[in-house]
Amino acid sequence: MSAFADQVYLLGRRSVVRTVRQPANVVGPLIFPMLLLAVNSGGLKAETQLPGFPTNSFIAFALAVPFIQGALFATMNTGTDLARDIQTGFLNRLSLTPMRGIALLCGQLGGVVVLTIAQVAVYLTVGYIVGVRLQSGLAGLVVIVLFAILVGLGFGALGAFAALRTGSGEAVQSLFPVFFVFLFISSMNIPRNLIAVSWFRDAATANPVSYLLEAVRSLIIIGWDGQALAYGFGIAAAIAAVALALASWALRVRMAR
């Protein structure tokens, strides 16, 4: 194994072990989205009676939301862990070693990917148990996993960027409400064409999170919708590219020897 791959593996394993050892970091991303799904799917079931609602199962409609919520938790976990590394001096000690800075980022994000896969498995299993069947079939399942990994990477890199710039776990945590606003002002609970208030519909249309939700949703309730997938993957890839570039730059600044 090359030295770089070795470094990534060790730091990735550390990231995963650290996450697993903090039950709140595992339980939060798994349980909280499922609770919100239960609450909303029960309370908003009546919405399926609206003319033009795309499915008669609200839980199938809402199952896309945990994927994005899980990614938000990934942002917070990555950022908080990295901020703790900065606050405790771990990053400074690391910068005295021959380790390449980018290996730290890759390792940290490797941990995010592992957690994302676990989340997706739980969300889809719960969905299957309550009767949701993917209209896109087994291939759709693979696409959902790939999409979730891409979104998790992008949001995880955003969390890393925030941590590297601020060096404070508290500052990273304070980002959570901002992300939550993006989630709620989206097509999270109702299709955009059914939003009656025009400014809200416009805000949801301008909000990239709507397209991330709609990509996952299309695979669950429609089947294969090229446009929804193109928008979803395009936006997720753009977020990931920008966030990774920002995080790499912030890491170089932080680890200036």
Interface with other proteins by CB under 8 A: which residues? Answer: 24, 35, 39-40, 42-47, 49-50, 174, 177, 181, 184-185, 188-190, 194-197, 199-200, 204
Residues 6+ apart with CB under 8 A from 29: 69, 70, 73, 74, 77, 115, 119
- Minimum CB distance to other proteins smaller for 21 or for 257: 21
Q: How far is the CB of 188 from other proteins (least distance, A)?
A: 8
Least distance to other proteins from the beta carbon of 219, Å?
23
CB of 41 to other proteins, least distance (A): 8
Q: How far is the CB of 177 from other proteins (least distance, A)?
A: 7
Residues contacting residue 200 through CB under 8 Å, at least 6 positions apart: 185
Q: How far is the CB of 231 from other proteins (least distance, A)?
A: 20
Measured from the CB atom, the residue of 83 and 148 that comes closer to other proteins is 83
Q: List C-alpha distances in Å: 256 to 82, 116, 249.
A: 16, 31, 11
- Smaller CB distance to other proteins: residue 130 or 246? 130
Minimum distance from residue 128 beta carbon to other proteins (Å): 18
Q: For the chain, give the number of residues.
A: 257
Closest by Cα among 187, 243, 219 to 74 = 243
Token readout for 113 is 């990917």
Q: Is the CB of 66 or the CB of 101 nearer to other proteins?
A: 66
At 105, list the tokens.
Answer: 């980022």
Classify residue 222 by burial, with Cβ atoms within 10 Å: 0-12, 13-18, 19+. Answer: middle
48 vs 248, beta carbon nearer other proteins? 48
Q: How far is the CB of 248 from other proteins (least distance, A)?
A: 30
What is the rounded distance in angstroms from the CA atom of residue 147 to the CA atom of residue 160? 20
Q: Which two tokens stand for residue 60?
A: 């199938």
Rounded to whole angstroms, the Cα distance separating 179 from 121 reads 23
Q: Which is nearer to other proteins, 18 or 45 (CB)?
A: 45
Query: 157: closest CA among 241, 58, 253?
Result: 241
Nearest CB to other proteins, comparing residues 58 and 233: 58
